[in-house]
Every structure is written in structure tokens, then in C-alpha cells.
Amino acid sequence: MRKTCLALLLIIVIAAATACAGAQSGPGTITITDDAGRQVHLDSVPARIISHVPSITETLFALGLGDKVVADSDDCDYPEAAKTKPKIGGYYTPNIEEIVAMKPDLVLTDGYVPELITKLDSLGIPIVVINPKDINGVLSDIELLGNITGSQQKAQEITSDMKKRIDAVVNTVGNASRPSVFYVLDATDTTKPWTAGPGSFVDALISLAGGVNVAASASDPWIQFNMEELVGANPDIILLDSNMGTTVIPPQELKELPVWQDLTAVKENRIYTIDADLVDRSGPRIVQGLEDIAKILHPELFKD
């Protein structure tokens, strides 16, 4: 009787474990839970993938899946091969009809266009939301994409390398002083510049790189900072967001602005540009963004 009970218990435990894992739900099929908490069923490893999100597209190419990406968005510009793919509209304006016409067996999104999910769900086209909230989420989602696409080994290689590089930066700056940093996302209005607050990747990267984000206690991930707050914070370093090699406001122009001139970072000429794609996109290159920020904050610790 005791052996029978133990055998039944073992069967129940195995069944429960299999249900929780949600990996194999039938011959050749998989079930995953995406970043929106949705369960998505795939009949097989996808061979025709569409991504309208630059960070997801970058990750797919890093996984060696460029040949399976049949289309991406107008904003998918890395690597170079991503630019040559058929386009299905902009990041905020994906053309649903074009997507359906491409007959994908998997569409990848970050969830910021809800109607895309609703429409494709109604048509039975698998769509997965990849939208990490932090650096650990970036690592997890790379492995999730690896599981979905049958590229588990490559995904593990990528995340293992990323973790080593993150640890290397954190260990190097561990005992260093922590300069205060102000990140300028957009200074079109120089009296109320946009910056990165808590919950943004930029905020996390500044902290990991051995700095203190002066907007770390703000109310939102992206907020406008008034000059009174900025003068009060008086940052040691200013980082300017650069897209395609240009900033909304050049460092030299920033130095000539009233009030800005009195900031320590400006007086000491510690204004630097940083590639926005390396710190805003939640793909493998975010580690390069971390390393670049660390070298700016602590050049004495990262001499070549």
C-alpha cells in the first residue's frame, strides 16, 4: 500500500512539474508564457519570423536567425542586414495587412501596439510579447527567444558572455567613488530637459557603472527635469543621448546656455555623448552601453 501511494505521489509530482514547465505540450509543439503573461502555443520551431521592434530584431540576428526574419520595421537598423529586410511599417505604425500577407508563423512585439496583438490573435497567428523591465529581464528574454526558436545553445552563450561582462564592470567600479550623472534624453526645451528616471535601462546602467543618477528618485522612467532641480543636483557628469551620431543639442551649445554654465559638469568640461541604441534597446548590445558609461565615469579604471 505504501509503495502504491509513493508511486502515485511520484506521478503527481512529475505531472505537476511538466505542467509548470510548459515546454512541450504535444509532439513538436511548445507553449511559452510571454512578458505580457500570455500563454502562446507554437506547433513547431518558427521558420518565418516578423519583428517590428529594433531590440528584438537585433536579438534575432545575434542568435543567428537572420535568414528566418522575413520582415521587420522601418526602425530596425541593426545589424546592416536588418535594413535590407522587407518592411512592415514603423515601430508605432505596423501595417497589419502587410504582416498577414507575409504569412509568418511567429510575430514578435513589445506590446505597445495592442491592436496588433488583438488582430493577429483573432487570425490565429502566433504573436509573442518581448518587453523586459530590467537588465535581468533582458537576459531572460534572450533565452526565451532561444527556446522559442530552437537556438538555446546560442542564447546561453550570449547571456553567459553578457553576465561576465556585467560582473567585470561591477567588480571594477565596486570601490570607486560614485559621481553624480545627469542623462539628457532631449533638451529641445533647454529649461526642462527630458531625462531618465527609475525603471529605465539608463538609470540601471548608470548605477551598475558606478554612478548616481540625479533623477533616480523621480516619479517616472522618463521625465522632464526643471532647471531648479538640475542646479540643485549639480551633476558631476552630463551624458547626452546621441541618435545616428547626433544629439538634439551639441555639447558646445549646451556649454553656452545660461544656468547650465554654472553646473560642475559644464565647468569641468565633463559632457559626453552616448549612443542611445546601446542604452535604450533591450538587446545584447546593452552591455556595450554599460561598458561605455563605465569608461566615461571611471576612465582611470578602464585604461586600454
Q: Report yes or no on 92 lying in a domain.
A: yes
Exposure letters 66-86 (e unless 16+ CB within 10 A, then b) = bebbbbbbeebebeeebeebe
Mark whether 38 and 101 lie in a shared domain: yes
Q: Does residue 111 register a pLDDT over 90?
A: yes
Question: What pLDDT shows up at residue 7?
Answer: 38
Mark whether 274 and 210 lie in a shared domain: yes
Secondary structure of the chain in HEC code, one letter for each residue: CHHHHHHHHHHHHHHHHHHHHCCEEECCEEEEECCCCCEEEECCCCCCEEECCHHHHHHHHHCCCHHHEEEECCCCCCCHHHHCCCECECCCCECHHHHHHCCCCEEEECCCCHHHHHHHHHHCCCEEECCCCCHHHHHHHHHHHHHHHCCHHHHHHHHHHHHHHHHHHHHHHCCCCCCEEEEECECCCCCCCEEECCCCHHHHHHHHCCCEECCCCCCCCEEECCHHHHHHHCCCEEEEEEECCEECCCHHHHHCCCCHHHCHHHHCCCEEEEEHHHHHCCCCCHHHHHHHHHHHHCHHHCCC
pLDDT tens for 222-255 read: 999 989 999 999 999 999 998 755 567 888 888 8
Mark whether 90 and 189 lie in a shared domain: no
Mark whether 114 and 226 lie in a shared domain: no
Q: Report yes or no on 226 lying in a domain.
A: yes
pLDDT tens for 240-295 read: 998 755 567 888 888 889 889 999 999 999 999 999 999 999 999 999 999 999 99
Is 165:287 a contact under the CB 8 Å cutoff?
yes
pTM given for the model: 0.88
Q: Does residue 121 register a pLDDT over 90?
A: yes
Q: Report yes or no on 294 lying in a domain.
A: yes
176, 140, 131: which is closest to 38 by C-alpha?
131
Question: What pLDDT shows up at residue 271?
Answer: 95
pLDDT tens for 10-23 read: 333 333 333 333 34
Q: Does residue 175 register a pLDDT over 80?
A: yes
How many domains in the chain?
A: 2
Question: What pLDDT shows up at residue 199?
Answer: 94
pLDDT tens for 40-81 read: 999 999 999 999 999 999 999 999 999 999 999 999 999 999
Domain termination residue (choose one: 132, 161, 195): 132
Range of the domain at 236: 176-301
Q: Report yes or no on 44 lying in a domain.
A: yes
Q: Does residue 3 register a pLDDT over 80?
A: no
pLDDT tens for 143-156 read: 999 999 999 999 99
CATH number (domain holding residue 44): 3.40.50.1980
Q: Report yes or no on 208 lying in a domain.
A: yes
Q: Does residue 25 register a pLDDT over 60?
A: no
Question: What pLDDT shows up at residue 304?
Answer: 67
By percentage, how much of the chain surpasses pLDDT 70? 89
Q: How confident is the model at residue 26 (pLDDT cuts 50, 70, 90)?
A: very low
Q: Which residue has the higher pLDDT, 114 or 7?
A: 114
pLDDT, average across residues 183-187 = 92
Mark whether 182 and 288 lie in a shared domain: yes
Q: Does residue 134 register a pLDDT over 80?
A: yes
